[in-house]
Structure 1
């Protein structure tokens, strides 16, 4: 049974990121001539901010500038309740601060600047402005979820709801850190619905116990053709025990290990000729205790059609519908004959045992079969050679 409707995964939304500030910098006195976004033409000492409170809705491509006229800047802080911190750079003479972080759409920013006049008197300025609402925005649905514990084969995966033209601009704002440190890389692909998707995986499986953090700094990022990101996310998750399963379609067995120790070797029945189980490494996507399996969902009709009703102890491996599950109707075939339509069947007792030992992100590797599972059919990332995987990055 190569394909059945997968369990529904929820889209993720995240709370706003708190107001943040640029580092305070001590600057030499600047001249009274020149610079703050072309709006400073002389006058009494003051801090000039552009755009200012009188501005209309600010275009997303606009930069924030802060200039101390007739004095020097000491610190600049720029923040918003929603999109995250704004960073910036200083001019060569340290007289003007200019933002480098893209402005997020539909956000209100507050600028707080502190300085002093050439005579030593204090200069202070607080200003706010609001950016244009997004006319065309994108978001990414990410996995795994915050606070979860997942298996050693779980990649970080983000699927976008709009086509991403400037993939490099988006990828630059995605960061994965791990403790202990691992070598890893992003790689782009199309998901099974044709949406742009990017996954991050290490060279080898995550070490058990690793702490992983995903940062998505996408608010204000232009993905091309005026398509802007709106998300800032920090997602922490943990890697659990090393639970691995290997299915040998020749011997018709599945060997399950935890942290290198064999737990059990189970008798199974995999896909028969013409409906062979995918070869290669698949990753547990989820599990449900009961699901209906009907061949019409995978366009199998005629003599091979089936309607199995409620099937017990179902562990999903691919989006196309490969499961490990109880198959009592195949009693007598386990360990003897491969007789399924692509799923991995076993006795009800063994299926319940397996169901209780695996979870999201655990690898299941099939050997001696045919047609290696695609990277985008669930998480087939591990079937891509590392050198090829790295070439999938937009930053190469």
Structure 2
């Protein structure tokens, strides 16, 4: 039966927010410091770039005035060279930067985050050989509006071969190219992959990254979100600086043939079992195409009112067992003992894929988040934003969804 989905687990919306992943049985319904220099002199941004005794000069230097997020941080070794520089904030993290020839100047390349306090620690050596040291701090102006991204999968998880990297933003993203430039996915072994923008089912801006083909089992994947200080358009600034690592598990693939009324389950290319199933009946056909496992719940209640089914087709079933969610619109694989006799014979559900309780329990034990379930010989291919329908878009079209061309 096609049900309203359980809410997908929220994964660490960071910055000022922190949402925690949940799984429940629900109705499918800084101190500023003056610089210490070897000569004991005071160093400030008001001094000339090359005037005065050897010192490390930090710009911006005024710890009391709020700094524009559009400003760059410059660390200069006057009369010497730098050996190390770190500019960091507890939330946004450490700024990246570039060195001048001879390492006399360090300039930030990472945008400053709004409403953050940064600490500068710099060390170097004067041309005469004495040590130069500097600590300082400054704070940035608070943004009128900020954005964060809710990302999947979560850090440290193991997921299936069809799991994309997916980020849904809590504010409209007008400058999608600016945001996309600060998102990066790397994999070992390397893959060809691409980002593509879409509207999530809730109307929010969302960007997914997927390989051209399924991930290989054992692949180590890293998502880098360098969004702190990024202007998404209209003065809406990002606050996130995150590195998310996850791995790819076994290739567990399932194919439902609506005509044959069977589901064939394979692991790493070897067929495990072919199960008898009953999919959606006429008018309630199961989505065609590839869907991706979103959640697993041992027991839920299914009430047709939550998906707008009333009258003669209405149902309200408690304790539905071994539930594998495939779409937010309410497609599940689950035990359907009330349809005993229909499995392998008749498609009689309201859109879900039903099977015997024993088979459903077995299947529940085989699949994990991110595993693909592909339905063939049905109608109405599942939409790209209905869960992870990413795999139903051909590669050329998928790449055109990037804001970077």
TM over 0.5: yes
Q: Report which stretch shifted further, 307-316 or 317-326.
A: 307-316
For 1:86-136, what per-residue CA distance to the aligned partner results, in whole angstroms no more than 9, with x for missing partners?
A: 223456897643322101122222223345556555544322111123431
Q: What is the DSSP-based 3-state SS (H/G/I as helix, E as strand, rest coil) of the residue aligned with 1:315?
A: strand
**Which string of whole-angstrom CA distances, capped at 9 and with x for unpartnered residues, describes residues 17-63 of structure 1?**
xxxxxxxxxxxxxxxxxxx9786377422433221144412121121
| Aligned counterpart, 1:10 | 10
Q: Tell me the distance in 2 between the aligned counterparts of 1:90 and 1:233.
A: 24
- With normalisation by structure 1, the TM-score equals 0.89
Match of 2:165? 156
Residue in structure 1 matched with residue 87 of structure 2 by the alignment: 79
Asked if 1:108 is matched to 2:117, the reply is yes
Residue 261 of structure 2 corresponds to which residue in structure 1? 252
1:322-337 pair list within 5 angstroms: 322-337=331-346
Residues in 2 aligned to 1:235 and 1:343: alpha-carbon distance in whole angstroms? 33
- Indicate conservation of the 8 Å contact 1:245/1:363, yes or no: yes
8 Å contact kept, 2:82–2:105:
no
1:255 offset after TM fit, Å? Answer: 0.6
- Rounded Cα–Cα distance in structure 1 between residues aligned with 2:261 and 2:230: 50
Please list every run of 5 or more consecutive structure 1 residues that lacks an aligned counterpart in the other structure: 17-35
Cα RMSD over matched residues? 2.2
Change (3 A) 1:119 1:259: closer
> Which residue of the partner structure matches residue 22 of structure 1?
none
Question: 2:344 and 2:162 mapped to 1: Cα distance?
Answer: 27
CA 1:332/1:224 → structure 2, altered by over 3 Å: closer, same or farther? Answer: same
Q: In 1, distance between residues paired with 2:271 and 2:195?
A: 32
| Superposed counterparts of 1:262-301, under 5 Å | 262-301=271-310
1:171 equivalent to 2:185? Answer no
CA distance in structure 1 between the partners assigned to 2:367 and 2:325 by the alignment: 11
- Aligned partner of 2:52 in structure 1 is 44
Looking at structure 1, the residues matched to 347 and 195 of structure 2 have their Cα atoms a distance apart, in angstroms, of 37
Change (3 A) 1:117 1:332: closer
- In structure 1, distance between residues paired with 2:271 and 2:129: 75
Q: How many residues align?
A: 376
SS in 2 for 1:104: coil
Cα deviation, 1:262-293, whole Å, max 9, x if unaligned, reads 11111111111111100000000011111111
**Is the contact made by 2:143 and 2:235 (CA closer than 8 Å) also made in structure 1?**
no
In structure 2, the partner of 1:29 is: none
